[in-house]
Structure 1
């Protein structure tokens, strides 16, 4: 697997939690260890991008998190795919 930025991992977590998901489901969908997932959950919850629902015992992407996903996807569309590949293709 290629190197992933913190932003890409954050986006994978928010997409996995969209609509509600358990820790295990999010962990598998974002390809993270439990220790890594705990670190990201702390950051995402503190920044109000992810919330925990006691009744369903699931994590859900907040409205703020959904806005971040929308903006990320818009930016991704604007950037040519050659930027996301290795530099050898450019030179």
Structure 2
């Protein structure tokens, strides 16, 4: 069976799905999105920079922003087309 590699957009959607709802810490995101720690750091920095995620320093938790929720909505629509 051939392995299907995920593209950048699919990985971003996985990270956003992992934090949707009550939020998540780094460990939960890593395991839910199937990322190594190095990959996780790269994606978290990108998503924070693009304001798709927010970080609470007191609880050490990442949360999805309204912009991130909109990304997931649009991504779901795209998935329906494919």
Length-normalised TM-score, structure 2: 0.91
Shift in Å, 1:2: 1.8
Question: After the TM superposition, which residues 18-33 of structure 1 pair with which residues of structure 2 at under 5 Å, given as runs?
Answer: 18-19=20-21, 20-33=23-36
Structure 2, unaligned runs of 5 or more: none
Distance in structure 2 (CA, Å) of the matches to 1:75 and 1:39: 24
1:17 aligns with: 19
Length-normalised TM-score, structure 1: 0.83
Structure 1, unaligned runs of 5 or more: 80-91
Q: List structure 1 segments (4+ residues) > 3 angstroms apart after TM superposition.
A: none
User: Which has the greater radius of gyration?
Assistant: 1
- The CA RMSD measured in Å over matched residues stands at 0.9
Counterpart of 1:60 in 2: which secondary structure? strand
2:69 aligns with: 66
